[in-house]
Amino acid sequence: MPTDAKNSLWRPYTQMRTAAPPLEAVRTSGSRIVLADGRELIDGIASWWTAVHGYNHPHIRTAVAAQLEAMPHVMFGGLTHAPAERLASRLAALAPGDLDHVFFTDSGSVAVEVALKMAAQMWLNRGIAGRSRFLAFRGGYHGDTMGAMSVCDPEEGMHRRFGAYLPTQVFCDLPRDDATADALDRALAEHGDTLAAIIVEPLVQGAGGMVMHAPETLARVARAAERHGLPLIADEIFTGFGRTGTLFACEQAGIVPDILCLSKALTGGTMALAATIARRPVFEAFLSDDPSAALMHGPTFMANPLACAAANASLDLFETEPRLEQARDIEIRLAEGLSGLRGLPGIADIRVLGAIGVVQFARAPDLAALKARFVEQGVWVRPFGDIVYLTPALTIAPDDLDRLCEAVAHVVRTSADTEAAP
């Protein structure tokens, strides 16, 4: 088997000894990825669901090119610039309620780190010690850095490997019913005065397996946080910017989290940028005559002007083009396109929410074989764990989406796991 082990590049989540070498991409446009050998793939996952407007959108390219001429980067300590000022005020206006105070970083994991630090330091600034742990939900994923890893699902791989380095948090099941809601309340009653915040992925636990929950479940989490006087951190890094059919998933539950994390689609899939947005009461805990009460974080490339220009251009597109309608149209088409797989032997579940379509196997399939077969079908789809999912660009052409659904249906129907089943 050809391997990647002699290459200088060390790849993510990749066993470098045995993994097949990656495919070389040379060009993208719309929902297409062009490979070095000339093959063209229909993209079913929009580069980890970042490229919501499709690749190479001219409006974003123009904005980034203009910013590149004027000022690609400048430090954010002591200086400010129009792209960041404008983006912060636009995000504050779009985010629910009084989520008005925007702190920029450069990746989703770091946005989560900042949210955790914000919550912990908020208590210290209020003169309350001992609140340094977090309540998180089983099945969650919040990133790869230490703090973010510590609030990821406690049974998943990284936790087991790095357990010795990680702070221990409190884990509960999402309160989908009365029993789990009671268990959450009991955990909050028991640990509440050691907790700084609750963190949740609204409506969809993404990298944990694209597992969805009802808006009422999210509303229960928000009510529990309120009852126990804890801030709620909503990690909308996956769900933000239309993926679930509304601009933010929190809107569907009518809740306003105390801290909101955004990244992934923030720049329309073009540049690394993230935002941690706080409600006024959180922000006000940092206002003081004491310099050490300031938020103690500041990445070198925070609020990078190129990335802010891309994000502003992306927000323009949400204003001028019907992205949320497109997400809802995709939902209907995905539901239709995947419905034929429901009930097949070897298939545990088919689920769709907004522009997210998921096929879950009864047991984990041979992922490498599945991935190769999708490429043979001319589509870019990356199954993980026990699922195959589609999170296309919100602008994907209906024909392309149908072809993606057909490819998923074909590959799933003819995969060994479903064939072998009685």
Ligand X SMILES: *Cc1c(COP(=O)(O)O)cnc(C)c1O
Residue with tokens 């989908």: 176
CA separation for the pair 308, 302 (Å, rounded): 10
- Give me 349's structure tokens: 């579940």
Residue 382 in marked binding region: yes
Stretch that binds ligand X, among 103-111, 320-328, 363-371, 383-391 (CB under 6 A): 103-111
Q: Does 276 bind ligand X (CB under 6 A)?
A: no
Instruction: Please give the helix or strand (H or E) that residue 62 lies within, else none.
Output: helix 58-70
Contact mark string toward ligand X, 35..74, x via CB under 6 A: ----------------------------------------
Q: Which of 81, 131, 133, 142 binds ligand X (CB under 6 A)?
A: 142
Smallest distance from ligand X to CB 360, Å:
18
- Give me 316's structure tokens: 């323009």
CA separation for the pair 241, 260 (Å, rounded): 13
Q: Is 138 exposed, middle or buried (0-12, 13-18, 19+ CB in 10 A)?
A: middle
Residue of 176, 181, 180, 174 whose CA lies nearest to 201: 174
8-state DSSP, 413: H
Subset of residues 349 to 368 that bind ligand X, contact rule: CB under 6 A: none
Q: Does 202 bind ligand X (CB under 6 A)?
A: no
Residue 298 in marked binding region: yes
Concatenating the DSSP letter of every residue in 311-338 gives: HHHHHHHHHHS-HHHHHHHHHHHHHHHH
Q: How far apart are the first and last CA of the chain?
A: 32
The residue among 136 and 347 lying less far from ligand X, judged by its C-beta, is: 136
Residue of 137, 118, 353 whose CA lies nearest to 238: 353
Task: Name the catalytic one among 6, 13, 37, 165.
Answer: 13
Residue 130 in marked binding region: no
55 is catalytic: no
Stretch that binds ligand X, among 23-31, 39-47, 60-68, 106-114 (CB under 6 A): 106-114
Contact mark string toward ligand X, 217..256, x via CB under 6 A: ------------------x-xx------------------
Residue 108 in marked binding region: yes
Q: Does 156 bind ligand X (CB under 6 A)?
A: no
Whether 66 contacts 309, CB under 8 Å: yes
- Whole-angstrom CA distances from 244 to 172, 175, 284, 323, 393 are 24, 20, 31, 11, 12
Minimal CB distance to ligand X: which residue? 108
Q: Does 112 bind ligand X (CB under 6 A)?
A: yes
264 is catalytic: yes
Number of residues in contact with ligand X under rule CB under 6 A:
15
Stretch that binds ligand X, among 199-207, 302-310, 320-328, 348-356 (CB under 6 A): 199-207
Q: Does 185 bind ligand X (CB under 6 A)?
A: no
Residue 380 in marked binding region: no
Smallest distance from ligand X to CB 151, Å:
10
235 is catalytic: yes
Q: How many residues does the chain have?
A: 422
Q: What share of the chain is helix, strand, coil (3-state, %, to 5)?
A: 40, 20, 40
Q: Does 331 bind ligand X (CB under 6 A)?
A: no
- Binding footprint of ligand X on the chain (CB under 6 A): 107-109, 112, 141-143, 201, 206-207, 235, 237-238, 263-264
Residues labelled catalytic: 13, 141, 235, 264
